[in-house]
Structure 1
Amino acid sequence: MAESLLLPLVRGVAGKAADALIQTVTRMSGLDDDRETLERHLLAVKCKLADAEERSQSNAYLRSWMEKLKAVAYEADDVLDDFQYEALRREAKIGKSTSGKVLGYITHCSPLLFRFAMSKKLKGVLNKIKELVEEMNMFGLENSVNREERQHPWRQTHSKLDESADIFGRDDDKKRVVELLLDQQDKRKVQVLPIFGMGGLGKTALAKMVYNDQDVQQHFQLKMWYCVSDNFNVTAIVKSIIELATNGRCDLPDNIELLQKKLDEVICRKTFLLVLDDVWNEEKTIWEENLKPLLCSIGGPGSAIVVTCRSEQVATIMCTIQPLKLACLGEEDSWELFSKKAFSNDVVEQAELVTIGRRIVNKCGGLPLALKTMGGLLRSKQHVEEWKAIEGSNIGDNIVGKHEVMPILKLSYKHLSSEMKQCFAFCAVFPKDYEMQKDMLIQLWMANGFIKEEGTMDLTQKGECIFHELVWRSFFQDMEVEDSFFSGHETVVCKMHDLMHDLARNVSNDCATIEELIEQRALLKNVRHLQMSTDNLKKTYGLFDGNSTSPRTLLAPSLMCREFKRLSHASLRALHWQGLFHTSFSFVNAKHLRYLDLSSCDVNARLLDSVCQLYNLQTLRLNNCTKLQKLPEDMMISLRKLIHLYLSGCDKLGRMPRNIGQLNNLRTLTRFVVDSREGCGIEELKDLRHLCNKMELYNLRKIKSIKHEKKPISSRRKI
């Protein structure tokens, strides 16, 4: 299914080739004929891709051709972005010239040198795509321009979802588990209760109901939740439990003796409840000889561990209490859950739709994830014929017999728009059980060009609609609002069900985490979106050797500086580079960046000056850069596309750049420091009409005139 993302990629690059700004530069450079030829070839390929995708399922040669096409499409996108960047650079140059700040661009950015370099790049891409078009014509592919998906109108608003309201038919299970846990007070050793069943059955949801039960909350002195997933590493689990118990970081080395002493110290004789969610380990010795002695010998009487797992073997290995096998939902609970998703409150259920819906519910076999997913899909379908088409899809007669919910998830994915497919598939870059921040996620989608403006909606608004649509259709779950240290304000977070994560990995081979690459002993050859962590820092050395592909998204700690310097930065669209470090490099070679997060970094003037050459930048996060004293004055001229500027925790920031009001696309500005200099007063905010979220105002005593602030104010104010 990975090829299903090729069509929106090619469509996006073809649209960019027709962009007016790019056309202007190619005409000035005498390269417009080549640009137009590239556009025509891309449009020709786009018309054949739907048929190519279907036939590639059984044709290895066609699949290979599509992989080559994807690589060329990314290359063409980089070349077109080079033209766009040059147009923005020239605009900024004119702006600086009028203010007497020409910086000597002529020698290294002369039109002649630019034309020579770009002619070579553009012709190289053209030659490659011409060969692919010639091959394509040999396949006898049908023109599928009329088979492209019908786009559904975007809903402008969504109510906040309460996921707990979607849990049906589990009250008896919850009551049983709570009674079992509260009945262990006389047991000296820690008791282990597994809850097992197939994926999508609601094991985690049930565990959460129990975990948040009022009697459970009052009974246990210490409550901890840890998602194990595929990583059943003893030291990692023990470290995480220590961190959960202390609400702080555990910096002890991976020495099991030291960790055992620390664990005894922090748990002491407290009665605790530990949930180990999504356990996969079926090796009895790892549990019996390593982890069980550590976890089952601590805490006070009545302490308990709840384990959720798919495998009955895992449950049998770990249990001290008879495991609970979770059953599928009954017919009426299934219908209630499905209809809640499928029918809106203000729509009367049509009798024929109810009849079809009942049959679809039977195919879902009582699996909550399948029911929610199918209900979310059918909510966007209003005609009987559409419901019948879904009913007739190849999702099996009853998925319970197959122990497989994936066909339904794939069917729901198939009915997403191209934009939603790209946005969802991108989330495979995060590891399982990762807590995704909505604002960050939308900004990463924007940076990679997955979102296109529509009507009166700008990119951020469109991203909000896509996010909430994916939540409603159960591609995302556990949405809640929490305070964020890094963003400085409340932020919406969510997660993905592990089956949804499997689906995202299945439909996209562009994304990877560093753990996956290490496990597979793979290089970065085809990876365009990569997340790295400090946990495997030493193992990453050499991973980039022989790599010819530059990632478009790199989410990494700043400690990866050594490896970062070995990457080609030309294709980077998003860089998340948090952490305490002293930097000596700049971002002039990463000119296509749209998203840059340097939160908690020790930024210097050279680095910030290089940021001013990122003319496409949409999001700049400098939260908790505690040594940051000022921002470059050139920001107002260069970063005209800036939408989000995060400055929370920058307590030494003494003033803002002049004329910040010229950044009229700003939606986020978390800090504004009033100054008496011309162009730095509070009146600069009057033109920032799109600002939302929280902003902190500082130095209000420096307001020059009473007309700018009529009410008495302190030196600090939040809005």
Structure 2
Amino acid sequence: MAEAFLQLLLDNLTSFIHGKLVLFFGFEKEFEKLSSMFSTIQAVLEDAQEKQLKDKTIENWLQKLNGAAYEVDDILDECKSEATRFEQSRLGFYHPGIITFGHKIGKRMKEIMEKVDLIAEERKKFHFLEKIADRQASTRETGFVLTEPGVYGRDKEQDEMVKILINNVNVAEELPVFPIIDMGGLGKTTLAQMIFNDERVTEHFNPKVWVCVSDDFDEKRLIRTIVGNIERRSLDVEDLASFQKKLQELLTGKRYLLVLDDVWNDDQEKWAKLRAVLKVGARGASVLETTRLEKVGSIMGTLEPYHLSSLSQHYGLLLFMQRAFGQQREINSNLVAVGKEIVKKCGGVPLATKTLGGILRFKREESEWEHVRDNEIWNLPQDESSILPALRLSYHHLPLNLRQCFAYCAVFPKDTKMEKDNLITLWMAHGFLLSKGNLELEDVGNEVWKELYMRSFFQEVVVDEFGKTYFKMHDLIHNLATSLISANTSSSNFRQVRVGEENNIWSIGFYKTVSSYSPSLLKMFVSLRVLDMSYSRVIQLSSSIGNLIHLRLLNLSSTRIRSLPKRLC
């Protein structure tokens, strides 16, 4: 999450440096230096976040970076709020308090610059690679050969989709494109392989071509690959026009099937160029694509998108048992009982089920199985778990301004039915949404929510009779969000506190749940943006709550509080 928050901070620093407030308070050179140091650090964050999983010292370094970034964010926020206060006063910007405030900020600026300078210097000892959002390193390559020893629970989907492809008779001017869409790990590629190798498909289509697209949706590369797959050789030509001509010669009048697997491109123009070349086939020629993004499906698809369902508990257990026991005949019933609980935690995601079954393949002690059952998937060693990298790929494809908004959703407990407008309000309170033209921040937040939904981060969306939109996150997507937020933040950096009724204290990054409210409690959390007391037993607020100068949202709904301290009125 450091990467997303740092980008947000850099955007705020740039806005502040070029605004009137920096001239009013001074410190222009100091803020510019901070921006430069953070930009230098940002270049190594991608590498640092990958390596922290195996190196505690890097994790600690990232913690220090997070803390420093939060402090600078607090200073910016304080400058903005104080400027508003001075401007609204009778003396305006001639208020004598400006000098006092300037001295206080000056001292803090000196301290934070020394701190950031040390953090920037310390990064050198880790020898990080400088790369910003290097998504190519996270890509994977797929082929049409079905390598799974057994596929469970997808026969119905396979049959339905094969029939749709075979029975489809497209109008002459339109190339039918059938999208398979859902979150990572549900088995989109496996299902596409099953369809590609189905005897009915082989008899109906000729030629059949499989292309793993991934990030590189380059027309020339894709056409070269398609031609090479059909002719089983590479071409001597290099120019795009020659590739286009050759491909059209091979496809004209043919009822072909083209599978485009793992598509991320959401540039409509790029797809339009490739489609123009492909529209020479006979009636019934079709394209099957797999993607995690609803947006890609809507851009490319001409047929109703196919959404994969989660595996049932029955098929999930069959898959797990096949991975954990193979052909073994005698199976310990106690291990089967623990296995059922593990499968339940996998939430119907085949990738999670296969991975955990594989981890236990050669383990026969009940305690070893219980360890996996009781351990969060994300705490498993990285060389044993392919779940986190597979799902994190979706996160790395998010624009930086969306990453913070997604990671924040970890503050809601698993299986929470979230309300869209409430979430957008919380994003606004934390300053995650940046101004965009003439749009109100609520509209920006709505765009962000739609983008996350279109990328399969949200599911089970329903609209009630009052027009309110509710949704959930899959447990593994929630785990992904949780894995992005550090749990070792100091109390002074917490941004959101929830006063709960139960005697529990739970912290995750900038979010904390505490068992009760007291005036002294507020002194611990000087950087609060959100204080949520809804449904708590609090009956009165102390005037010390007015010291929370960064507070942007105070939720007192469903409490017995009937009046506010005078400092807040």
Structure 2 counterpart of 1:478, which letter? E
Deviating more after overlay: 38-47 vs 122-131: 38-47
Structure 2 counterpart SS, 1:452: coil
- The CA distance in 1 between the partners of 2:4 and 2:160, in whole Å, is 35
- The CA distance in 1 between the partners of 2:540 and 2:65, in whole Å, is 40
* Aligned-pair CA distance for 1:65: 1.9
Q: Is the 8 A contact 1:443 1:460 kept in 2?
A: yes
* Aligned-pair CA distance for 1:445: 1.1
How many correspondences in the alignment?
A: 376
**Counterpart mapping for 1:111-150 below 5 A:** 111-144=98-131, 147=134
Q: 1:136 to 1:509 in 2, by over 3 A?
A: closer
Q: Is the 8 A contact 2:495 2:527 kept in 1?
A: no
Structure 1 counterpart SS, 2:23: helix
- 1:578 is aligned to 2:534: yes
- 1:482 is aligned to 2:464: yes
- 1:463 is aligned to 2:445: yes
- The CA distance in 1 between the partners of 2:448 and 2:488, in whole Å, is 20
**Counterpart mapping for 1:389-400 below 5 A:** 399=351
- The residue aligned with 1:647 is none
- The residue aligned with 2:153 is 327
Structure 1 counterpart of 2:78, which letter? D
Structure 1 counterpart of 2:109, which letter? L
- 1:439 is aligned to 2:439: no
1:507 is matched with which residue: 484, 488, 497? 484
- The residue aligned with 1:62 is 58
- The CA distance in 1 between the partners of 2:75 and 2:52, in whole Å, is 28
- The CA distance in 2 between the partners of 1:491 and 1:511, in whole Å, is 35
List, as ranges, runs of 4+ consecutive aligned residues in structure 1 with deviation greater than 6 Å.
336-339, 351-354, 363-366, 374-377, 387-391
Structure 1 counterpart of 2:3, which letter? L
- The residue aligned with 2:400 is 418
1:34 is matched with which residue: 27, 30, 33? 30
Unpaired runs of at least 5, structure 1: 150-200, 202-325, 340-345, 367-373, 484-488, 513-522, 612-631, 633-719
- The CA distance in 2 between the partners of 1:89 and 1:42, in whole Å, is 29
Structure 2 counterpart of 1:599, which letter? S
Q: Is the 8 A contact 1:433 1:495 kept in 2?
A: yes
- The CA distance in 1 between the partners of 2:44 and 2:560, in whole Å, is 50
Q: Is the 8 A contact 1:477 1:496 kept in 2?
A: yes
Deviations 1:312-337 (A, max 9, x none): xxxxxxxxxxxxxx934545268599
Q: Is the 8 A contact 2:534 2:559 kept in 1?
A: yes
- 1:11 is aligned to 2:7: yes
- The CA distance in 2 between the partners of 1:347 and 1:90, in whole Å, is 63
Q: Is the 8 A contact 1:435 1:493 kept in 2?
A: yes
Q: Which structure exhibits the higher relative contact order, with contacts defined as CA atoms closer than 8 Å and separated by 6 or more residues?
A: 2
**TM-score, normalization by structure 1:** 0.44
Q: 1:353 to 1:424 in 2, by over 3 A?
A: closer
Structure 2 counterpart of 1:136, which letter? R
Structure 1 counterpart SS, 2:518: helix
* Aligned-pair CA distance for 1:131: 0.7
**Counterpart mapping for 1:268-279 below 5 A:** none
Q: Is the 8 A contact 2:46 2:133 kept in 1?
A: no
1:362 is matched with which residue: 165, 187, 190? 190
**Counterpart mapping for 1:535-546 below 5 A:** 536-537=502-503, 539-540=504-505
Q: Is the 8 A contact 1:328 1:365 kept in 2?
A: no
Q: What is the CA RMSD across the aligned residues, in angstroms?
A: 4.7
- 1:533 is aligned to 2:500: yes
* Aligned-pair CA distance for 1:436: 0.9
**Counterpart mapping for 1:225-374 below 5 A:** 327-328=153-154, 330-332=156-158, 348-349=175-176, 361-362=189-190
Structure 2 counterpart of 1:112, which letter? I
1:560 is matched with which residue: 479, 498, 516? 516
2:474 is matched with which residue: 462, 483, 497? 497
- The CA distance in 2 between the partners of 1:27 and 1:347, in whole Å, is 59
- The CA distance in 1 between the partners of 2:443 and 2:79, in whole Å, is 27
* Aligned-pair CA distance for 1:352: 12
Structure 2 counterpart of 1:137, which letter? K
- The residue aligned with 1:380 is 266
Identity over aligned residues, as a percent?
26
Structure 1 counterpart of 2:450, which letter? H
- The residue aligned with 2:139 is none
Deviations 1:238-296 (A, max 9, x none): xxxxxxxxxxxxxxxxxxxxxxxxxxxxxxxxxxxxxxxxxxxxxxxxxxxxxxxxxxx
Structure 1 counterpart SS, 2:406: helix
Q: 1:36 to 1:596 in 2, by over 3 A?
A: same
* Aligned-pair CA distance for 1:529: 4.4
**Counterpart mapping for 1:99-178 below 5 A:** 110-144=97-131, 147=134
Unpaired runs of at least 5, structure 2: 137-150, 166-172, 195-259, 275-287, 293-322, 324-349, 358-385
Q: Is the 8 A contact 2:541 2:564 kept in 1?
A: no
- The CA distance in 1 between the partners of 2:26 and 2:399, in whole Å, is 37
- 1:453 is aligned to 2:411: no
Structure 2 counterpart of 1:362, which letter? T
Deviations 1:479-499 (A, max 9, x none): 22236xxxxx64211122222
Deviating more after overlay: 428-437 vs 400-409: 400-409
- The residue aligned with 2:550 is 592
- The residue aligned with 2:82 is 86
- The residue aligned with 1:308 is none
- The CA distance in 2 between the partners of 1:78 and 1:333, in whole Å, is 57
Structure 2 counterpart SS, 1:461: helix
Structure 1 counterpart of 2:117, which letter? K
Structure 2 counterpart of 1:32, which letter? E
- The CA distance in 2 between the partners of 1:349 and 1:72, in whole Å, is 53
Q: Is the 8 A contact 1:583 1:602 kept in 2?
A: no
Q: Is the 8 A contact 1:448 1:552 kept in 2?
A: no
Q: Is the 8 A contact 2:499 2:517 kept in 1?
A: no
- The residue aligned with 1:280 is none
- The CA distance in 2 between the partners of 1:564 and 1:437, in whole Å, is 32
Q: Is the 8 A contact 1:478 1:494 kept in 2?
A: yes
Q: 1:434 to 1:351 in 2, by over 3 A?
A: closer
- The CA distance in 2 between the partners of 1:58 and 1:359, in whole Å, is 29
- The CA distance in 1 between the partners of 2:476 and 2:390, in whole Å, is 11
Structure 2 counterpart of 1:361, which letter? T
Structure 2 counterpart of 1:67, which letter? Q
- The CA distance in 1 between the partners of 2:449 and 2:479, in whole Å, is 19
Q: Is the 8 A contact 1:433 1:496 kept in 2?
A: yes
Q: 1:20 to 1:506 in 2, by over 3 A?
A: closer
* Aligned-pair CA distance for 1:604: 6.1
- The CA distance in 1 between the partners of 2:112 and 2:57, in whole Å, is 21
2:39 is matched with which residue: 40, 43, 46? 43
- 1:430 is aligned to 2:316: no
- The CA distance in 1 between the partners of 2:263 and 2:532, in whole Å, is 33
Deviations 1:544-579 (A, max 9, x none): 9xxxx9x855677xx832277354343111122224
* Structure richer in helix, relative to its length: 2
Q: 1:364 to 1:83 in 2, by over 3 A?
A: farther
Q: 1:598 to 1:526 in 2, by over 3 A?
A: closer
- The CA distance in 2 between the partners of 1:500 and 1:89, in whole Å, is 42
Structure 2 counterpart SS, 1:578: coil
- The residue aligned with 1:610 is 567
- The CA distance in 2 between the partners of 1:128 and 1:466, in whole Å, is 33
